Each structure stands twice: as C-alpha cells, then as structure tokens.
Structure 1
Amino acid sequence: MTKQLGTSDKPGKKSAPKLRDGVMKRGSTWSYVIRVKDPQTGESKPKWVSGFATEDDAKAARDEARVKARRGEYIDRNEITVGEYLDEWIEAHAVEIKPKTLKDYRDIINRYVKPHIGGQKLQAVRPATITKLYRDLMAGGGKSGRTLSPRTIDYVHAVLRKAFRDAVEVDQVLPSNPVERAKRPRRTVTEPGSVWSTEQLRGFLVVARQHRLFAFFHLASYTGARRGELLNLRWSSIDLDGCEMTITGSAAFIDGERIEGTTKTGRRRVVSIDESTVRVLREHRRQQVADKLLAGEDWRGTGDHVFATGWGDPIHPDTVSSLMPILIKRYNDPKDGPKPGKPLPHARLHDLRHVHATTLLLAGVPVHVVAARLGHVDPSITLRVYAHVIRAAEASAAEIFAKAIGE
C-alpha cells in the first residue's frame, strides 16, 4: 500500500511540517531559514524568519535574504518601532550632545516625528514614508494645525538623518538609510544680511547707547559673535590693550537653568576688536564696577561675566533678544526730537551678525577670514550662507580689474 504525501505512519496523527528548500509552514503562516555568518566568529548559523501569509511571500523574502547574506548585508528582523528607537538613540547620545542641542532634538522628535510615524516598525520605514511625513508636516504640523515652515522641516530632516544613519552604521538594524532618499519640500532661500545697511545699524546703535546694555549690542555688531557666546564672555578673556577677545564657550537657558558649554563648533577662537570697541568696553567695565559698589553685600556676581544685571547675575538670553524690538521702536518713535526720515525695519538680534559678515564681504575681506571671525568651521559654510553677497561683489570684479590696469 502506497503511503500518501502528508500522512503519518500512525493513523490519527498529523505529520510534522517539512522544510522544503528553506521554506516551511508553521501553523497558519510560512517561515524561511537561511544561514548567516557571524561577523565576529565567522561561524555560519541558521536564521529563522516567520510570519509570512503565503509560501510565495516566504520564498521571495528568502531569496532576498540569501543575496544579502552573501554580500554580508543581512539584517535580522527587528520589531522595534520608530518611537522606541528614537528614545533609545537620544538617550545613548545624551552624554555627547550639548544640552541645548539635546533639548532641541527631543522637542523635534516628540512634537513632529512620534505623533506621525512613532508607532511604525523601524524596518518598515521607506523613503516614501519620510516623504509623506514631510508633506503632512507642511500641511498641518504646526501649532493648532497650522502649516509648518520648510526651515523647521529641514531641522526634522537633520535629526532623522542622524538617527537613521546610526541605525544603519552603529546599531545595524537597517540595511540603508531611507531618510537620505526622501524628498523634502522646496524652500525659498531667505538671504541673510540684507535687513539693515551700515547707516541703519549706525542709527540703531545711537539709540542703543542710552541703554545700560549698549556694550552688548555694540560688541555683537562689531564682532559678529553669537548671542550665547557674548553672554558667556568673561573679562579674563578680553585683552583690551591687545585689542582682541577670546571666545571660549556659549551660554543658554534650558528648562529655567543656565547652561554653559563649548561654542557651536566646539572650538575657541580669537577675534580682533577695534579701538572704538575697546573704549565702549572700558566704559562698560567702569559702569559694572559702579554697580558692584552700589550693590555692596547684595552683589551676586561670581563668574566675572562681561554682561550682567545690576546685581551681578548673568544676563538671560531672552533679555537682549526682547530688547531689539524695544530699541527699534524707540528709534522709529522717539520721545524727544523729530522722527527719522525712514523707519528701521524689523530685525532680530542675530541679524547683527549677518550685517557684520555682509559688511566685511562687500569690503573685500577674504571669505576665509570672515569665516574664522564668525566661528564657521569651514569657509564653505560662509560661502553658502552669504552667496548673494559674494555674487554682488563678483559683479563689480570686472570693473575693478579694468581700473587696476588703467583702462
């Protein structure tokens, strides 16, 4: 009597599932097995993957896995979600990311990523997944469903690119980075440095001179230093006789706590200052000494900060930023004297840095010198940010050359 396929020698008992070319049915789903070399020991070990609805699905996945195994690109299946991975990733990097950057990363992940794709399996994310995320954020990812700016989406993209790159290169749970191939919305480039002319800056500083923090705005304009760098500045880092200052770090407030760390690039730099800036700083120091004498035992200054309150506490970053619109309004609508012919347009504190860079570039200062002054780690950053200024300077290059040779 011939035994039928799929039956057992013993009546009433089902035969055990059979493995056919690496594919087997287990219960209601199909599985496959391949052999993968351990990268550390070189030993070949079986890898089972299950959960396929049909035999054809299992075979297709098996074939793809075999190719990757031969190339050394095989990745074990992992059930971790995007949200779970990002939580682990941010915690693993907490010790090496600056506190302010860490907070920004967490805010971006919690506000823009997790609500949309946080529950998806990390290994199921495709470039189209990320592209759709960006479209959804553009359409209504802001507060109360408002549209999100392309600039913010650039920040989201930067964080995801770093995280998914580590998923590929460090944690090895992804074969490739889907964020690299995602399509970001087009953005209109806003050219910095075009807010104020040097004449407008001069008028602003005339009004700012009436405030006790005039030296801060003068130094920001005349050095191009960042807000946090100036608020971290100590008198010990300024050589008034040698006309230079050393920027060694940056200050910020995070969750109500003042945090001081390195500069944005992690490097210190020496910035030259002119004689007028030296005079402004000497006057500022005399005023600070007077404040200390007036406060007496109530003086709270302990850190030798150049910019402090009347009681010696370090200045909060929001203080100088919020002063900008107040001083602009004071210029445009003075209490005494006639109003200016042309009002000052709105500007941010950071725009003083852009005016500084623009003025130097238009005056012919080499790009690498401006980059070093601004603290850009590479002159290519300066070239990209201030490309419009450099184009304007190039437009007159032909006339300059012709005049130089006497034509």
Structure 2
Amino acid sequence: MTDAADLAARVREGDLRLHELDDHADADVAAAARRLLVESETGATLSAVGDYGFPAERAESNIENMLGAVQVPMGVAGPVPVDGGAADGGDGDEGAYLPLATTEGALLASVNRGCSALSAAGGANARVLKSGMTRAPVFRVADVIEAEALVSWVRDNTDRLIEAAESTTSHGELLDVTPYVVGNSVYLRFRYDTKDAMGMNMATIATEAACDVVEEETEADLVALSGNLCTDKKPAAINAIEGRGRSVTADVTIPREVVEERLHTTPEDIAELNTRKNLVGSAKAGSLGFNAHVANVVAAMFLATGQDEAQVVEGANAITTAEVREDDLYLSVSLASLEVGTVGGGTKLPTQAEGLDVLGVRGGGDPAGSNADALAEYIAVGALAGELSLLSALASRHLSSAHAELGR
C-alpha cells in the first residue's frame, strides 16, 4: 500500500505534483499526503481538518487537491408550517425544520424566533413564480447592420437553437433566447428549465452547442461563452428584474397580538422601520438588495444543503415588504434569483445530503423540478423568519441586548 509520507516526500522532491497524488493512491491517502506536506511547509497542524466523516472519494467531483474538510456547525430552526406550491411543510406533523450551517452566533436563535412567530400565525405561504437558469454568450459582429441580422436570425431560428442545446442533455429544456445589442457586440441570453439541478453546468454545455450553430449559420464570431449578461455570481440588476434560477416569494399575515406578545413591538413600527430601513435606506445606498439580512439565511441554508455558496450574491437579491393590514402585520420576502438544486454538485456530499433529507427534498422530484422548487420555498420561508425577527429586534430596540444575552 502506498504510504502518505512517501508521497509527500515525492512531492517535496519535485517527483510528483499535488494534483497527481490521486493517480498514485486512493483519495484518503492522497489527502493525508497533502496534509503532511502542507504541515511541514507551513507549520500548521491539520488534525482537525483531517478528521472528516466520509470517504474522500465522495468529494472527487467537488474539489481538487483535497486535504480534508472544514466543519461548519449546523443547527435547525422551526418547526414552521409551510404552504408551498411544492413544499408541503416538511415531513414533521408541525411543519418543516430548516437546516442552517453557520459560524454566526445568534443567527439560529433569531431565525428560530421568527419561525415561532410564523407558526403562531398559522404558518407561511411560499411560491416559485418563475424558473430558469441562464447563460449569455457574447458574439462579435462587424457593425450594427450585422447585429440586427443576427438578432433577426435568432428570432427566426430559435427552434434550431433549441434542438442543438437540448441534444446535450436528457433533462434540460431551452425556454427562450433573448438578444441584447451593444454596438458590435451581441449578447444572447439563453434561459433553461434545468428541473431539480441548479443547472449551471447543464446550461453552459447546452449553450456551447447552440453557439456552434450560430457561428456556422451567421457572420457572428463567438468571443466568450459567458458575456456576463447571465449574470452569475455578481450583483446584477438583470437578475433582480428578469430573475435567474428560482424567483420565489414567501409571505404571512401575523395577528397583532402575536406581534405584540411574541415580538414585543407593533405592526405599525415594523412597517415603518421596513420602509425607512429596507426600502428608503437601501435606495439611498444604491443597494440591489432591499432587505435586512436575507443573505444570512440563504448562506446558512446553502451550506447546509450543498448549494454553490458563491451564488449567495444573487440569492440575497431580495425585497422585503411590510404593511399594516386590518390591524395585523403583512410581511413578504421576494427573492428574485435563488439558484438551487437537489441533485448534482454539493448535494451529493453525505452531510449536505442529510441536510436535504431534513427537508425531505433529496434527489430528483416527482414531477421533475418539484424538489428544487420546494427547497427554494423553504429557503424563502427561512428568509421571511429571519427578516421578521431582525426587524422586530430593531423596532423594539432589543438587537444589542439579544446579542449580549447570548454572549455573541
């Protein structure tokens, strides 16, 4: 059996490179060799990083040069009843438990408090209103005349682009192609139904096949398969307006007595605070997110369920609204571009798969896409609970005292 110390020595001597270790040993031995090498080179001790609870080969499609795993504490908030288009409230009788992984103290307590108030109000509603993963290549043309010709060709030949794109996948469907022209640059924003997969890789591969047809049949030259009009992992107004991944909204009407007794404030104070902070304050700051801390819940649930953590950028692209309705509080959170999946990527890792199991959405849904829709709805309800709790803490001026009480 190949020894980790021998492999580390061979790397140190220049006989092997780090990424070649997997060709000479199983994944766990290769990871051990990397730890030994990094420890000797840096003086760090990696015993905790090396104490992971699954075979390293399970992560081969998720990471390169693996030397261990970072463990992030995971907890649950809830239960909370959810009336979703796909989410059915979870497998529990009283509602769903929401898995969140974070290192931020007080976050779970805050979301849990929000879930308690949502439950006292009878639960939250959630619906996915639009779905579609995008990829937008950029083409070079000679001038605006050729640009217009390309746009016309695309509109007349969308069926050919659909045929080419869908030839690369047994699951994805090309929904539409929207052209954008800037001088002699033409961007084609492809939008796909990727079912239960988050679908970024699926969309990229399918779009490449469609781009081959465009280059064969027109005067356009492909400059880049991604022209940043997609837009992936960057703040972008187009995602706030047109959506990317799942566009999902959660809302609730909370009786006045619940607001006063459980949250120690009033519907009027929360509604005013939301307007002045989340709407006016965010507008003054030029923010693309008009919310209190949606990113907190999106990031924590992404980590717990194996989502692409960099897409928290788009996931936090959300608007929170609040109003007094017949003496009660109406609160909503709309997440325009929540990119989630229940198959592929990090969802295959054992701990993240267990997070999906808590919600009952691991793997492909029946019908296809329903599990990813349900996950999006659960995240939206978690964000709603988080917004309710933080707005209440601010309105009652209890935010700092809550952190002090929890020792954060």
Report if TM-score (shorter chain) is over 0.5.
no
TM-score range for the pair, normalised by the shorter chain length: under 0.3
Task: Using CA pairs under 8 Å that are at least 6 residues apart, name the structure with larger relative contact order, 1 or 2.
Answer: 2
Q: TM-score, normalised by structure 1?
A: 0.24
Whichever structure has more strand as a proportion of its residues is 2
Q: TM-score, normalised by structure 2?
A: 0.24
Which is higher, the Rg of structure 1 or of structure 2? Answer: 1
